[in-house]
Amino acid sequence: MKSKYRRTAFGVENLPMLVMLALSVAVPVSLIAATRPNILFIMADDHAWQAVSAYGDARHLIQTPNIDRLAREGVRFDHCLVNNSLCGPARASIITGTYSHINGFYNNSGDRFDGSQSTFPKLLRQAGYQTAVIGKWHLESDPTGFDHWEIVPEQGVYYNPPMICDGQQVPHSGYVTEIITDLSIDWLKKRDPAKPFMLLCWHKAPHRIWEPALGDLDFDHDRPYPPPATLFDDYAGRGRAEHEQDMMIATTMRLNEDCKLTAPPDLSPGQRKIWDAYYAPRNAAFLEKKPTGKALTEWKYNRFMHDYLGCIKGLDDNIGRLLKYLDETGLATNTMVVYSSDQGFFLGEHGWFDKRWIFQESARTPLLVRWPGVAKAGGVSGKIVSSLDLAETFLQAAGTAVPDRMQGRSLMPLLKGETPPDWRTAFYYHYYEYPAWHRVRPHYGVITDRYTLAHFYAPDVDYWELFDRKNDPEEMTSIFDNPAYAQVRANLMQEVTRLRTELKEPAKDDPKACGYPAQIPPNL
């Protein structure tokens, strides 16, 4: 019979040190339980790593002091990748530790998560953890494996959001990021202190349509934001997929909703007054000037940056509130705090917003882990890790068996500053959804520390691209047909085949994988 635990050169991988000690000496069970860490997993929606100041973006878009604190007191992962850069599929992969073809959630266009399958919240709950999820769920079915859940319906709204609390809809007044934080702190206050806890505090912000807290509307004092060098990319050197997408700031981004020429419908009269005091004069100046062409794109980019980064300002402030609560209650010393996003996001690079692509801005996501006594303070890891790895990390930290079904790998050694000799050097990626929302063709491929190889294969394209990110960090020109890269290409093609086999990727996609909704829903 196959063991539930993995043995490594360092011992039994899935048991913390005290549990392994208990196998050989008499250690009270209560002591073992007391040393299991609490887990606070804070996740944003669409938070680009370029907009976390700890990552040192050259544009200096925003300061995020509270998120940066986690980097100073824990480990910053510089190459954390997602397997399917889309909100619902990314979340399904995080909680199951599996790829989309295993957990069955491929896209946002009609998929419904099967809550009966194994997830790390269920396994932690079975192991004695008190569990809760508060915030954005976005998996269509109700959460399972939680003692308590309170989520925004679908994508949720920024102002006065209704929420669903353990199956019952509850109204709320205020701003969604603050409300999610309030509810998270309230749950921490009311939880059973005799049990370790696992709390998913999953925010809506900064998802489209990027509406900041009313108190943060003037946070940047009309600062002009430096555009990325590729804002006016013409996609030369790449194929049809890049040319025919529909996610451009210039043409896709809507003036009324996205750029705030109209106010959101959810505001109260008092909130609307504050909103209009900020946006109305600026909108009037825009309408009077009537920019066109590149000038219009630059204006839209700046409005996008103001709104998006305003959401992150509020997000960082509220993360500070959570960290303060942990400090004041003494919980910080035995709580693993994880900050990440469901995926990356384009902030004008290649003229785009949104995600979906295998490219770095999209497939790479921030990941910071603070765990006093385990995670090396100020540590930085450039190894390829993934949000898939979080489930196994949490389970190992809790001394709980990791199901063979999971496809990630515990980050425990990397948190301690150790790198196993067999750590991954290539990561497999697969995106499915087409044509909604942004007409990004389905594609799969591999990402290494230097190269990105992608196969665009459906429904009306079939071609490969290869990028050397050392010499072409912005992934502008495919060198797939360059004879100088023939051996690199062959090696990476072989790696794709190996990983597809290892991950049990079917030769043909599930018929529902792409998703062709009869009608695109009105709320993004």
- Structural domain includes residue 405: yes
Strand partners, 39: 198, 336
Neighbour-count burial of 295, counting CB atoms closer than 10 A to its CB (0-12 exposed, 13-18 middle, 19+ buried) = exposed
- Structural domain includes residue 521: no
Long-range contacts, stretch 264-273, CB < 8 angstroms, 24+ apart? 264/157, 264/158, 264/159, 264/209, 264/211, 266/157, 266/158, 266/159, 266/160, 266/161, 267/159, 267/160, 268/159, 268/160, 268/173, 271/159, 271/160, 271/214
Contact of 294 with 233, CB cutoff 8 Å: no
pLDDT at 23: 32
- For 262-321, write each residue's pLDDT tens digit: 999 999 999 999 999 999 999 999 999 999 999 999 999 999 999 999 999 999 999 999
At 263 the three-state DSSP class reads: coil
- For 442-479, write each residue's pLDDT tens digit: 999 999 999 999 999 988 999 999 999 999 999 999 99
- Structural domain includes residue 446: no
Cβ neighbours, 10 Å, residue 12: 16
- Structural domain includes residue 92: yes
Contact of 240 with 464, CB cutoff 8 Å: no
- For 68-118, write each residue's pLDDT tens digit: 999 999 999 999 999 999 999 999 999 999 999 999 999 998 899 999 999
Planar angle of CA 198, 165, 155, nearest 5 degrees: 90
Residue 363 sits at φ, ψ, to 5 deg, of -80, -20
- Please state the domain count of the chain: 1
Note if the bond before 209 is cis, omega within 30 degrees: yes
Residue in this structure with the two tokens 């087409």, named with its chain if needed = 434
Distance between CA 257 and CA 71 in Å, rounded?
A: 35
SS (H, E, C) 305-337: HHHHHHHHHHHHHHHHHHHHHHHHHCHHHHEEE
pLDDT in tens, the chain (524 residues): 333 323 232 233 333 333 333 333 333 333 334 489 999 999 999 999 999 999 998 899 999 999 999 999 999 999 999 999 999 999 999 999 999 999 999 999 889 999 999 999 999 999 999 999 999 999 999 999 999 999 999 999 999 999 999 999 999 999 999 999 999 999 999 999 999 999 999 999 999 999 999 999 999 999 999 999 999 999 999 999 999 999 999 999 999 999 999 999 999 999 999 999 999 999 999 999 999 999 999 999 999 999 999 999 999 999 999 999 999 999 999 999 999 999 999 999 999 999 999 999 999 999 999 999 999 999 999 999 999 999 999 999 999 999 999 999 999 999 999 999 999 999 999 999 999 889 999 999 999 999 999 999 988 999 999 999 999 999 999 999 999 999 999 999 999 999 999 999 999 998 888 764 433 333 33
Residue in this structure with the two tokens 């900041």, named with its chain if needed = 212
Of residues 351, 327, 350, 348, the one with CA closest to residue 337: 327
SS (H, E, C) 445-510: EEEECCEEEEEECCCCCCEEEEEECCCCCCCCCCCCCCHHHHHHHHHHHHHHHHHHHHCCCCCCCC
Residues 326, 332, 338, 340: is their CA dihedral positive or negative?
A: positive
What's the N-to-C CA distance of the chain in angstroms? 48
Write out the two tokens for 68: 């940066």
Burial 227-243 (b: 16+ CB within 10 A, else e): bbebbebebeebbebbe
Distance between CA 169 and CA 115 in Å, rounded?
A: 20
For position 58, which CATH number holds?
A: 3.40.720.10
Please report the DSSP string for 116-148 in residue order.
TS--HHHHHHHTT-EEEEEEE--SSSPP-S-SE
pLDDT at 523: 32
- Structural domain includes residue 226: no
Average model confidence (pLDDT) across the chain: 92
At 154 the three-state DSSP class reads: coil
- Structural domain includes residue 434: no
- Structural domain includes residue 498: no
Distance between CA 178 and CA 98 in Å, rounded?
A: 31
Give the global pTM. Answer: 0.92
- Structural domain includes residue 324: yes
Residue type, 445: G
Domain residues for the domain of 168 are 36-211+307-424
